[in-house]
Amino acid sequence: MRPVARRVLATLMHEARAGQRTLIMGILNVTPDSFSDGGRFLQKDAALRRAMEMAASGADIVDVGGESTRPGAEPVPTDEELRRVMPVIESLAAEPGMIVSVDTRKAAVARAALQAGAAMVNDVSAMTADPEMASVVAESGAAVCLMHMQGTPKTMQLAPAYADVVHEVRDYLGERARIARAAGIAEDRIVIDPGFGFGKTLEHNLEMLRRLREFTDLGYPVLVGTSRKSMLGALLGGAPPQDRTEGTAATVALAVANGASIVRVHDVREMWRVVCVADAVVRGVSPL
């Protein structure tokens, strides 16, 4: 990681942990099949343009992914995932002040991305998919986002079931964070995420958003990723992903009110404005 990225990451993690303001993670899917923007950013030029646009619109972190984890998705081989994300990450990480996250479950992809200058690993398996992931993250000094998922993308929406979704997910995230720390990842480099839409029914998702404080009580910054997800389509009469902006905005505002530190979104310009207003109400701060 470059010294500038190291410094910016330390500041962002401090802000996230102290609850000073809500950070925005902009989504960049370099995939042919992501649920809402699949195929749009497969060409490197288009991906870089999109990343720069998101940074200019207020993204603190750009999250680059080369494998869709939408319900039903098939796994992508390592060499294909590397081929998709690495040219983009290499260019982005060279931009001064740009904080790049890599959305991957594979240690080999994380290692290559971190060597190229990425500052964060966003692992939707909470480092359970690859036994080498924890040591790769620990050695790099990068941040990690640990997300909860019931099952795998292929099967997770078939029959999600919990006795109490918030208790189960909270206990799991607490345990994964403990394991991350035991592997040498610093406490102030860990972010947790309840995993909206990952093996959850609409009711589970609503319950998690309503009771988000029970996750923040674990003491780690909480990331919320509801952007354009099917829970919003279900609540908005079947609106397609591109027509879920207001629904996303409602969940972002409620996430801020309920203690989220980071929101992961597609519509950065719009959600930056939502966060601006929500942070003024909830935290009494304004970036303008």
- Residue ranges that bind ligand HH2, judged by CB under 6 A: 27, 29, 31, 34-36, 65, 68-70, 103, 122, 124, 145, 147, 193, 195-196, 223, 225, 264
* Closest approach of ligand HH2 to the CB of residue 144, in Å: 10
Active site residue 229: yes
Active site residue 44: no
Beta bridge partners of 100: 62
Q: Which residue is nearest to ligand HH2 (CB)?
A: 225
* Closest approach of ligand HH2 to the CB of residue 38, in Å: 7
* Closest approach of ligand HH2 to the CB of residue 54, in Å: 13
For ligand HH2, the closer of residues 140 and 230 by Cβ is 230
Helix (H) and strand (E) counts in the chain: 11, 8
For ligand HH2, the closer of residues 98 and 126 by Cβ is 126
- Cβ atoms of residues 169 and 129 within 8 Å: no
Query: How many whole angstroms separate alpha carbon 202 and alpha carbon 236?
Result: 12
Select which of 44, 229, 269, 283 is catalytic. 229
Select which of 264, 269, 273, 283 is catalytic. 264
Query: How many whole angstroms separate alpha carbon 6 and alpha carbon 241?
Result: 35
Give CA 40 to chain center in angstroms: 19
Beta bridge partners of 222: 192
Q: CA-CA distances (angstroms) from residue 36 to 9, 65, 187, 226?
A: 28, 13, 33, 12
Task: Check residue 57 and report its DSSP letter.
Answer: T
For ligand HH2, the closer of residues 3 and 200 by Cβ is 200
* Closest approach of ligand HH2 to the CB of residue 63, in Å: 7
For ligand HH2, the closer of residues 58 and 65 by Cβ is 65
Active site members:
229, 264
